Amino acid sequence: MPRSVSRPTLPIPTKGAAGTVDGVFDRSARVYDAVYSFKDYAVEAARIAEEVRRRNPRARSLLDVACGTGKHLEHLGAHFDVAGIDLDRDLLEIARARLPGVRLEQADMTSFDLDRSFDAVTCLFSAIGYALTLDRMRAAVSTMARHLEPGGVLIVEPWLAPEAFEDGHIGTLIVDQPELKVARFNTARRHGNVSELSFHYLIAEPGSGIEHATEEHRLGLFTSDEQRRAFEDAGLSVEHDPEGLIGRGLFVGTKKD
Protein backbone atom coordinates (compact mmCIF):
# COMPACT_ATOMS: atom_id res chain seq x y z
CA MET A 1 0.00 0.00 0.00
CA PRO A 2 1.41 3.45 -0.88
CA ARG A 3 2.67 5.36 2.14
CA SER A 4 3.25 9.06 2.62
CA VAL A 5 2.52 11.66 5.24
CA SER A 6 -0.01 13.38 3.02
CA ARG A 7 -2.08 10.55 1.48
CA PRO A 8 -4.56 8.70 3.62
CA THR A 9 -5.30 5.02 3.30
CA LEU A 10 -8.88 5.56 2.15
CA PRO A 11 -9.98 8.27 -0.27
CA ILE A 12 -13.31 7.13 -1.57
CA PRO A 13 -16.25 9.51 -1.96
CA THR A 14 -19.25 7.19 -2.19
CA LYS A 15 -21.38 4.88 -0.12
CA GLY A 16 -20.89 1.23 0.67
CA ALA A 17 -22.42 -1.68 -1.17
CA ALA A 18 -25.19 -2.20 1.36
CA GLY A 19 -26.90 0.95 0.08
CA THR A 20 -28.07 2.34 3.42
CA VAL A 21 -29.46 5.86 3.26
CA ASP A 22 -27.00 7.24 5.81
CA GLY A 23 -23.84 6.31 3.92
CA VAL A 24 -20.45 5.24 5.20
CA PHE A 25 -19.41 8.86 5.73
CA ASP A 26 -22.28 9.61 8.10
CA ARG A 27 -19.85 10.45 10.95
CA SER A 28 -17.23 12.36 8.95
CA ALA A 29 -19.03 14.10 6.07
CA ARG A 30 -18.76 17.53 7.67
CA VAL A 31 -14.94 17.26 7.87
CA TYR A 32 -14.50 15.38 4.58
CA ASP A 33 -13.20 18.35 2.59
CA ALA A 34 -10.77 19.29 5.36
CA VAL A 35 -9.47 15.72 5.61
CA TYR A 36 -8.83 15.55 1.86
CA SER A 37 -7.62 19.14 1.42
CA PHE A 38 -4.22 17.79 0.35
CA LYS A 39 -5.76 16.83 -3.02
CA ASP A 40 -5.37 19.24 -5.94
CA TYR A 41 -8.81 18.84 -7.48
CA ALA A 42 -8.17 21.52 -10.10
CA VAL A 43 -5.12 19.71 -11.46
CA GLU A 44 -6.93 16.36 -11.40
CA ALA A 45 -9.95 17.83 -13.22
CA ALA A 46 -7.69 19.32 -15.88
CA ARG A 47 -6.08 15.90 -16.38
CA ILE A 48 -9.49 14.24 -16.68
CA ALA A 49 -10.63 16.84 -19.21
CA GLU A 50 -7.45 16.22 -21.22
CA GLU A 51 -8.02 12.45 -21.22
CA VAL A 52 -11.60 12.92 -22.40
CA ARG A 53 -10.80 15.46 -25.12
CA ARG A 54 -7.90 13.38 -26.43
CA ARG A 55 -10.41 10.64 -27.29
CA ASN A 56 -13.51 12.73 -27.90
CA PRO A 57 -12.63 16.30 -28.92
CA ARG A 58 -16.31 17.25 -29.20
CA ALA A 59 -17.21 16.15 -25.66
CA ARG A 60 -19.55 18.61 -23.95
CA SER A 61 -21.26 16.71 -21.11
CA LEU A 62 -19.91 14.74 -18.15
CA LEU A 63 -21.40 12.66 -15.35
CA ASP A 64 -19.39 12.08 -12.19
CA VAL A 65 -20.43 8.85 -10.46
CA ALA A 66 -19.77 8.85 -6.70
CA CYS A 67 -19.30 12.61 -6.85
CA GLY A 68 -18.98 13.01 -3.08
CA THR A 69 -18.91 16.65 -2.00
CA GLY A 70 -18.58 17.85 -5.60
CA LYS A 71 -14.97 19.01 -5.54
CA HIS A 72 -14.09 17.38 -8.86
CA LEU A 73 -17.33 18.63 -10.41
CA GLU A 74 -16.59 22.14 -9.20
CA HIS A 75 -13.58 22.21 -11.54
CA LEU A 76 -14.88 19.91 -14.27
CA GLY A 77 -17.72 22.40 -14.71
CA ALA A 78 -15.22 24.71 -16.38
CA HIS A 79 -14.81 22.13 -19.15
CA PHE A 80 -18.20 20.38 -19.43
CA ASP A 81 -21.90 20.57 -18.71
CA VAL A 82 -21.78 18.43 -15.56
CA ALA A 83 -24.04 16.25 -13.41
CA GLY A 84 -23.34 13.89 -10.53
CA ILE A 85 -24.69 11.00 -8.51
CA ASP A 86 -23.75 9.57 -5.13
CA LEU A 87 -25.40 7.17 -2.72
CA ASP A 88 -24.25 9.10 0.36
CA ARG A 89 -26.91 11.62 1.39
CA ASP A 90 -24.63 13.64 3.66
CA LEU A 91 -21.96 14.13 1.00
CA LEU A 92 -24.61 15.08 -1.55
CA GLU A 93 -25.95 17.80 0.72
CA ILE A 94 -22.50 19.39 0.73
CA ALA A 95 -22.23 19.02 -3.05
CA ARG A 96 -25.63 20.66 -3.58
CA ALA A 97 -24.59 23.65 -1.50
CA ARG A 98 -21.35 23.91 -3.48
CA LEU A 99 -22.94 23.45 -6.93
CA PRO A 100 -26.35 25.18 -7.13
CA GLY A 101 -28.03 24.46 -10.43
CA VAL A 102 -26.09 21.25 -11.11
CA ARG A 103 -28.14 18.06 -11.37
CA LEU A 104 -27.12 15.88 -8.42
CA GLU A 105 -29.02 12.73 -7.55
CA GLN A 106 -28.84 10.04 -4.90
CA ALA A 107 -28.32 6.77 -6.74
CA ASP A 108 -26.43 3.47 -6.65
CA MET A 109 -23.54 3.23 -9.11
CA THR A 110 -24.49 -0.34 -10.02
CA SER A 111 -28.05 0.37 -11.17
CA PHE A 112 -28.74 4.07 -11.76
CA ASP A 113 -30.79 5.28 -14.72
CA LEU A 114 -30.75 9.02 -15.47
CA ASP A 115 -32.77 8.88 -18.70
CA ARG A 116 -29.98 10.58 -20.65
CA SER A 117 -26.47 9.90 -21.86
CA PHE A 118 -23.19 11.80 -21.61
CA ASP A 119 -20.02 12.35 -23.62
CA ALA A 120 -17.98 11.31 -20.57
CA VAL A 121 -18.58 9.45 -17.33
CA THR A 122 -16.10 9.42 -14.45
CA CYS A 123 -15.81 7.43 -11.24
CA LEU A 124 -12.85 8.84 -9.34
CA PHE A 125 -10.93 8.63 -6.07
CA SER A 126 -11.16 4.82 -5.92
CA ALA A 127 -14.95 4.84 -5.45
CA ILE A 128 -15.34 1.72 -7.56
CA GLY A 129 -13.97 -0.27 -4.62
CA TYR A 130 -17.27 0.26 -2.81
CA ALA A 131 -18.98 -1.94 -5.39
CA LEU A 132 -17.43 -4.58 -3.10
CA THR A 133 -18.00 -7.72 -5.18
CA LEU A 134 -16.84 -8.64 -8.66
CA ASP A 135 -20.42 -8.92 -9.93
CA ARG A 136 -21.31 -5.48 -8.57
CA MET A 137 -18.15 -3.91 -9.99
CA ARG A 138 -19.02 -5.33 -13.39
CA ALA A 139 -22.60 -4.05 -13.02
CA ALA A 140 -21.29 -0.59 -12.16
CA VAL A 141 -19.04 -0.45 -15.22
CA SER A 142 -21.88 -1.72 -17.42
CA THR A 143 -24.31 0.86 -16.01
CA MET A 144 -21.83 3.69 -16.53
CA ALA A 145 -21.10 2.50 -20.08
CA ARG A 146 -24.84 2.50 -20.87
CA HIS A 147 -24.90 6.22 -20.04
CA LEU A 148 -22.27 7.05 -22.68
CA GLU A 149 -22.99 8.61 -26.05
CA PRO A 150 -21.34 6.95 -29.06
CA GLY A 151 -17.67 7.89 -28.87
CA GLY A 152 -18.07 8.62 -25.17
CA VAL A 153 -15.30 8.11 -22.62
CA LEU A 154 -15.49 6.28 -19.29
CA ILE A 155 -12.72 6.99 -16.75
CA VAL A 156 -12.48 4.91 -13.57
CA GLU A 157 -9.83 5.46 -10.90
CA PRO A 158 -9.45 2.07 -9.20
CA TRP A 159 -8.98 1.09 -5.58
CA LEU A 160 -5.92 -0.99 -4.72
CA ALA A 161 -5.34 -4.28 -6.50
CA PRO A 162 -5.10 -7.39 -4.26
CA GLU A 163 -1.31 -7.55 -4.54
CA ALA A 164 -0.94 -3.86 -3.56
CA PHE A 165 -3.06 -4.00 -0.41
CA GLU A 166 -1.01 -4.14 2.81
CA ASP A 167 -2.82 -6.26 5.36
CA GLY A 168 -2.37 -4.83 8.85
CA HIS A 169 -1.40 -1.34 7.69
CA ILE A 170 -1.95 1.47 10.22
CA GLY A 171 -2.55 4.99 8.91
CA THR A 172 -2.76 8.49 10.36
CA LEU A 173 -3.88 11.85 9.01
CA ILE A 174 -3.89 15.22 10.80
CA VAL A 175 -5.90 18.36 9.99
CA ASP A 176 -4.61 21.48 11.75
CA GLN A 177 -6.74 24.50 10.85
CA PRO A 178 -7.43 27.51 13.07
CA GLU A 179 -11.07 26.50 13.72
CA LEU A 180 -10.83 22.76 13.14
CA LYS A 181 -8.52 20.01 14.38
CA VAL A 182 -8.89 16.41 13.19
CA ALA A 183 -6.80 13.36 14.00
CA ARG A 184 -7.74 10.30 11.98
CA PHE A 185 -6.36 6.84 12.62
CA ASN A 186 -7.15 3.70 10.67
CA THR A 187 -6.32 0.04 10.49
CA ALA A 188 -6.57 -2.09 7.36
CA ARG A 189 -7.41 -5.79 7.21
CA ARG A 190 -7.96 -8.17 4.32
CA HIS A 191 -10.56 -10.91 4.25
CA GLY A 192 -10.36 -12.74 0.94
CA ASN A 193 -10.83 -10.11 -1.77
CA VAL A 194 -12.36 -7.55 0.57
CA SER A 195 -10.39 -4.83 2.35
CA GLU A 196 -11.83 -3.70 5.68
CA LEU A 197 -10.79 -0.32 7.06
CA SER A 198 -11.68 0.87 10.53
CA PHE A 199 -11.49 4.64 11.04
CA HIS A 200 -11.37 6.55 14.31
CA TYR A 201 -11.68 10.34 14.28
CA LEU A 202 -10.96 12.88 16.99
CA ILE A 203 -12.64 16.13 15.93
CA ALA A 204 -12.18 19.39 17.84
CA GLU A 205 -13.97 22.67 17.11
CA PRO A 206 -14.34 25.84 19.19
CA GLY A 207 -17.14 25.48 21.71
CA SER A 208 -17.78 21.82 20.87
CA GLY A 209 -15.14 19.99 22.82
CA ILE A 210 -13.60 16.87 21.28
CA GLU A 211 -15.77 14.35 19.43
CA HIS A 212 -14.77 10.72 18.89
CA ALA A 213 -16.33 9.17 15.78
CA THR A 214 -15.83 5.78 14.14
CA GLU A 215 -16.60 4.40 10.67
CA GLU A 216 -16.19 1.02 9.05
CA HIS A 217 -15.47 0.84 5.31
CA ARG A 218 -15.36 -2.26 3.10
CA LEU A 219 -13.92 -2.18 -0.42
CA GLY A 220 -13.47 -4.91 -2.99
CA LEU A 221 -9.99 -5.75 -4.22
CA PHE A 222 -10.17 -6.21 -8.00
CA THR A 223 -7.33 -7.23 -10.28
CA SER A 224 -6.38 -5.18 -13.33
CA ASP A 225 -7.50 -8.04 -15.57
CA GLU A 226 -10.91 -8.18 -13.87
CA GLN A 227 -11.42 -4.47 -14.37
CA ARG A 228 -10.19 -4.54 -17.94
CA ARG A 229 -12.61 -7.38 -18.76
CA ALA A 230 -15.47 -5.43 -17.19
CA PHE A 231 -14.78 -2.58 -19.63
CA GLU A 232 -14.48 -4.90 -22.61
CA ASP A 233 -17.65 -6.80 -21.73
CA ALA A 234 -19.46 -3.45 -21.50
CA GLY A 235 -18.54 -2.82 -25.15
CA LEU A 236 -15.66 -0.42 -24.54
CA SER A 237 -12.12 -0.37 -25.83
CA VAL A 238 -9.92 0.07 -22.76
CA GLU A 239 -6.54 1.56 -21.85
CA HIS A 240 -4.83 1.28 -18.47
CA ASP A 241 -2.53 3.97 -17.11
CA PRO A 242 -0.80 2.39 -14.07
CA GLU A 243 0.07 5.76 -12.49
CA GLY A 244 -3.12 7.78 -12.94
CA LEU A 245 -3.88 10.76 -10.72
CA ILE A 246 -2.37 9.68 -7.39
CA GLY A 247 -0.52 6.47 -8.15
CA ARG A 248 -3.48 4.10 -8.26
CA GLY A 249 -3.93 4.13 -12.01
CA LEU A 250 -6.76 4.96 -14.40
CA PHE A 251 -8.87 2.75 -16.62
CA VAL A 252 -10.07 4.66 -19.68
CA GLY A 253 -12.72 3.16 -21.92
CA THR A 254 -14.12 4.49 -25.20
CA LYS A 255 -17.47 3.55 -26.67
CA LYS A 256 -17.58 2.86 -30.38
CA ASP A 257 -19.11 5.56 -32.60
Residues lower than pLDDT 50 in the chain: 1-21
CA distance 171 to 210: 20
What are the tens digits of pLDDT across the range 9-66?
A: 333 333 333 333 457 899 999 999 999 999 999 999 999 999 999 999 999 999 999 9
SS3 string, the chain, reads CCCCCCCCCCCCCCCCCCCCCCCCCCCCHHHHHHHCCCCCHHHHHHHHHHHHHHHCCCCCEEEEECCCCCHHHHHHCCCCEEEEEECCHHHHHHHHHHCCCCEEEECCCCCCCCCCCEEEEEECCCHHHHHCCHHHHHHHHHHHHHCEEEEEEEEECCCCCHHHCCCCCEEEEEEEECCEEEEEEEEEEEECCEEEEEEEEEEEECCCEEEEEEEEEEEECCCHHHHHHHHHHCCEEEEEECCCCCCCCEEEEEECC
Q: Are strands 61-65 and 118-123 parallel, antiparallel or unpaired?
A: parallel
Domains and their CATH numbers in the chain: 29-161+223-255 (3.40.50.150), 162-220 (2.20.130.10)
CA distance 132 to 109: 12
C-beta of residue 121 within 8 angstroms of C-beta of residue 147: yes
Instruction: Report the side by side order of strands in the sheet with 81-86.
Output: 103-106, 81-86, 61-65, 118-123, 148-156, 250-255, 236-241
- Predicted pLDDT at 23: 74
Residues 6+ apart with CB under 8 A from 108: 19, 87
Question: How much is the pTM?
Answer: 0.91
Which residues are CB-neighbours of 76 under 8 A, at least 6 positions away? 45, 48, 49, 62, 64, 82, 122
